[in-house]
Amino acid sequence: QVVFDELPRGPFELWAATDGLASAPVRVEDGATVEIALERAANVRGEIAAEGFVAPSSTVTLVPLEGDHATRIATIDSTGRFAIEGVPLGRWRVETVVSGHVQAAEQVLRVAEPETSLTVRMLQTGTVSGTVVDSHGAPVPHATIVLRDQAGEQRPLTVSSTNLRWVHPLAGTRQMPANSSGRFSAPRPGARPTECGRGHCGIDIGSVRGTVVHAAADGEVVAIFAESRTEAGKLVAIHHGGGLKTMYMHLDEIRPGLEVGQAIRAGEPVGLLGSTGFVRAIPHVHFAITHEYGRTWYLDPEPLLRHAVVLREPRAYEPFEPSQAREPLEGKPVVQRIMTDAKGAFQIAGVAPGNYVVGAFASDYAPGASPGFAVRGGEQTPGVNVTLDAGIAVKGIVVGRDGPLAGAVVMAGAGIGETAHKIATTFTDKNGRFVLRALAGKVTLAVQAPLYGEVERSLVVDERTREQTFQLTIENARLRGQVLAPDGGAAAGVTVRVIDGPTRRRATTDAQGKFTLERVATGTYVLELSSPEFPSKRIEVETEKWREVRLEVGGGARVLVRDAAGTPLANVRVEVAGPSNHAANRMTDAKGVAELRGLVPGEWRISARSAGFAPASQNVTIRPERVLKDVALELARSATVAGTIRDRYGRRVAGARVSLGGATTKTDADGNFRIADAPVGAGVIEAEFDGARGTLPIELQPGAERVALTIELQ
């Protein structure tokens, strides 16, 4: 028996390991007593193969790529050897920290035997130094330095310390990027921020549509995109203090009741995992962390999630009730970054051999980069210089109904969706004039002022775009009305949302069914009325004209989801699709039941899906004022298939499309694929790339794992 005393409040993870045995992490709440079960594990013993001295304080870290396990860390002894006992079976990524060295290549260890050996080859690193100056040769202090190799890789910025308790956005098992294409700085098309390497400004986790996504830390909701307008889709952004934000993108749904300005706790749901916006082959949540420091900087979230608390099961997905109190964030997060000193000088140690460029960023200057240079192991590379130009100053005026507007906010940003980031901000003076300095390339200018609507404009900064004029529309009108139930009574709790009109707003009807949308521009609007009890409806409303509308009678369905043994399944996403593109979804409760109401009469298709099970569906007919109570869906355990796609010459094929039944994925950079929720029974795995195809007949039993498959493309 082990007792931990005087712990702070909140969830914790416990795990245990000994020679040949280990446990999965057990999540515990305050004051709980738990039992930890040990299972068969392995001992990993290895050595470091390196040139030069290896300090005894060096470490080897094993990061789990499969299963729900804690990260393992070992210290290297004076002979360069190490041992880690109680390592669960599966695949682990090897990360080694040796002063003056770097791993020769990314290394994945498959632990399958009781005694597993590991050799980690290390290369000596070099040191890069130089200066950042302006166009007149004067040093530029406090510039941020980003090092990139010629292939686009770079050292990502990371959060080194905060006083926040971090919770993994997905419950159940510690889910990390399934392959290299989902990791930070993986290749992506288009222009991307420099610190994002080859383009990916976050990590992709999860794969099951409808999975509950949780807030990663305490904070305040600062942005919600409830409609999918960019490649980011529906998203939620949370500010955690000190300029640190987390973002949750591609959500299928934002949690009902969640609004900007609300305090939210770590582990509270923010929405449901999905595929809105521009996404890859399968649904996922794009999880990003940013830090405001002169501009928006993207950070690598993976180091934080390796040690974040993983909830045992998803929290209840119910309408959000704001927290009454939240302890303020004390102090600012520490972000690891390389900065120039007072003389504009910088030095970067621990650089792997290769070819690089240095990028520099400073306020009042356009970004700049050095010429390419080579780094050799164990050597100094001095004289790397970057010259920053002042860039182009964009000037202009902001005008309202009565003339120039003082105090309007003018922001310059770049990128869209997953990579949107702020470059500069200023305010208009008493004459409505503004100046944004050091702009270059394609930017988006956004202008806001009290009582006025926001205006955005995209432009390429050059001599022709130096002068800009913004005309803002005053928002001093209202949309008002009353929503009635089919029987003529008041319809309370109905969501009223603008879907077409000059200003986007939303509100909820009160106890009398009345609603008011304040601060809208004068004009005609289309509103959508939605309620769990009645079918949704769209109406046209003019500002300052009272509108009364009666909702129509709908039907419903009571859905029971069970497994093959008849056991009810909780937290299963139930989706329904009906006439005229009407759709809805609910999560099953502890009894496996999902209540769906307010459905338009007609033919509907009801589907259920959950991690580890094959989806199931059923067609039903919904009739007015009736609730179907006998809709039962049985989910069969799914299987897992994984393997490698090769061409006719035996070479691995990256980016190949692989499908089995309705499950689809793509191979990673090494030609590997994995389908975690494959349908059981007889089927055919199909692979395709650039016109070449390959197939593999397969028969899967529930829970089966076939993970060493090879398909050849012809």
Instruction: Look up the pTM and report it.
Output: 0.61
DSSP state of 316: P
Give whole-number Cα distances, 644 to 393, 655, 656, in Å: 52, 11, 10
Strand pairing of 39-49 and 26-28? unpaired
pLDDT at residue 213, as a whole number: 97
- Is the separation of the CB atoms in 248 and 234 below 8 Å? no
Task: Compute the distance between CA of residue 392 and CA of residue 396 in angstroms, rounded to an integer.
Answer: 13
CA 620 – CA 633 distance, rounded (Å): 12
Tokens of residue 676, six digits: 């975690």
Ordered strands of the 672-678 beta sheet: 672-678, 639-646, 705-712
CA 621 vs CA 449, 578, 606: distances in Å: 50, 9, 10
CA distance 680 to 570: 22
CA distance 524 to 540: 7
Handedness of CA 526, 531, 533, 535 (dihedral sign): positive
Distance of CA 198 to the CA centre of its chain: 17
Say what the pLDDT of residue 226 is.
78
Structure tokens that stand for 492 in this block: 């309370």
Rg (CA), the chain: 28
Residues in contact with 125: Cβ distance below 8 Å, sequence separation at least 6, in sequence order: 100, 101, 102, 349, 350, 351, 352, 353, 375, 377, 378
Identity (one letter) of the amino acid at 565? Answer: A
pLDDT at 328: 47
Residue-wise pLDDT for 602-646, tens only, equals 999 999 988 778 888 999 999 998 999 889 999 888 888 999 999
The token pair at 536 is: 């949704």
Which amino acid is residue 529, in one-letter code?
Answer: L
For the chain, domains (ranges, CATH) are 12-124 (2.60.40.1120), 126-151+337-388 (2.60.40.1120), 158-336 (2.70.70.10), 395-471 (2.60.40.10), 477-550 (2.60.40.10), 555-635 (2.60.40.1120), 639-712 (2.60.40.1120)
Mean pLDDT by 10 residues, the chain (714 residues): 74 78 75 81 90 82 76 88 89 86 84 90 91 93 80 56 78 80 77 71 88 92 77 87 88 89 90 79 86 77 83 87 54 69 92 84 82 88 91 90 89 72 80 86 86 86 86 92 94 90 86 93 92 89 95 93 90 88 85 90 91 85 89 88 90 90 82 84 92 92 85 93
Among residues 604, 603, 614, the alpha carbon closest in space to that of 561 is found at 614
CA 324 to each of CA 181, 264, 321: distance values in angstroms, whole numbers, following the listed order: 41, 10, 9
From residue 583, give the alpha-carbon distance in Å to each of 302, 358, 596, 628: 35, 50, 11, 17
What secondary structure letter does DSSP report for 567? -
